[in-house]
Structure 1
Amino acid sequence: MSNLSDHPISRRWPARHPERLQLYSLPTPNGVKVSIFLEETGLAYEPHLVSFASNDQLTPEFLSLNPNNKIPAIIDPDGPGGRPLALFESGAILLYLAEKTGRLLPADAAQRYETIQWLMFQMAGVGPMFGQVGFFHKFAGKDFEDKRPRDRYLAESRRLLGVLEQRLQGRDWVMGEAYSIADIAIFPWVNNLIEFYGAGELVGIADFPQVLRALRAFLDRPAVRRGLAIPQRAA
């Protein structure tokens, strides 16, 4: 791929601003990680809505960018060496963009890896577990007579919230005073657990006051409020 127009995805989502980073996404907890980062840093980008309602994620054009058929995905026309770079997986995208911009990831090596550690905490634990709680509480899983699967994911989600609660004791953010990609990864999932899945009472969210305090601070950020609604869903 020598330029953006060479990529098959441009046939379905043509770029009006091909010089900008292209974001293919949906405002889900994973999707908004990238839009929030981009809003926080002011990096120029063009968002494209990948609609699950019309199975956009299963089209040949999207699969040419992400064979795992998940959002978000990006193409940076000004990637390493000035060549276009296509990426999927929200954690990988956050790391790439943080290194590209020099923002929201500590320069100190030890703190950098500690931040990555908490990013992986979200990717490996918080996202999958909170998503399963949402399935069993809000979607088809609520009809299962056997509640043991739900309770298994519920217990693990409470455990993860406890880990986060302990980490936030005496800290503004996951990494202390500095807001980082760890916060951008974790708090959309906490918000989704409470607001979209309606599972706050189920998980006993009131038992985690530091998590709630940090979540409120996260949601008060103007870039977060903007990023949570990008890309705009179709009317």
Structure 2
Amino acid sequence: MKWTLVAFTLALAPPGAALAQDTADAIGDADRGAKVFRKCTGCHQVGSDASNRAGPHLNGIFGRRAGSIEGFDYSKAMDRAHDDGMVWDIEHLDAYIENPRALVSGTRMSFRGLKDPQDRHDVLAYLRQFTANPQDIPESAPTAVAREVELPPEILAIVGDAEYGEYLASECLTCHQSDGADAGIPSITRWHPEDFVVAMHAYKRKLRPHPVMQMMAGRLSDEEIAALAAYFENLE
């Protein structure tokens, strides 16, 4: 009944910040959803200064046509969903975050999904706050989180050599799959370069607790990390 009421409300009422909050409350617990959404912030951002990362920003996601953020390089699978006219309504969003590849076969999104319905409903309630008309809620706080490791600007400014990165990537690809599939090991395909660099330096400084990755990152120079980031950013 709750979901039917929400869909009916979305269909009849004009968009606005108040509707966004009312609808979010009807779906789930937005405050709890903000905490669950932390699992998503490695790839997605919402809020007043949200930008595209490994995944597109999620401002205005409700009612948005799949694969429609201008300038974002979607997978071929998501492009097909766009051409088929798929719209991110509640039902499609719920199905997608439960199991992305069940709804969009071939998507690069390697997240395994949220199996708990309450987690999904709470995340949707949280995202709904950024949807009515994002331009109407500029005061919405961004979800940006502090970096795991603060790096000097000159390290983040290094432009990596993608061809050199391809040469270095052979070791990475013994575990990580180039097509973005996740078979127990997270995908690093299409990562935003800054996110890749920060993660590798976090391993290098042993802030991330994975001994194999700590060892591998510890052998890499700043330039080699940047080269790998450049290679994986555009890997098809």
Shorter-chain TM-score above 0.5:
no
Query: Of Structure 1 and Structure 2, which has the larger fraction of its residues in helix?
Result: 1
Which structure exhibits the higher relative contact order, with contacts defined as CA atoms closer than 8 Å and separated by 6 or more residues? 1
**TM-score with structure 1 length normalisation?**
0.29
Q: Which has the larger radius of gyration?
A: 2
Query: Of Structure 1 and Structure 2, which has the larger fraction of its residues in strand?
Result: 1
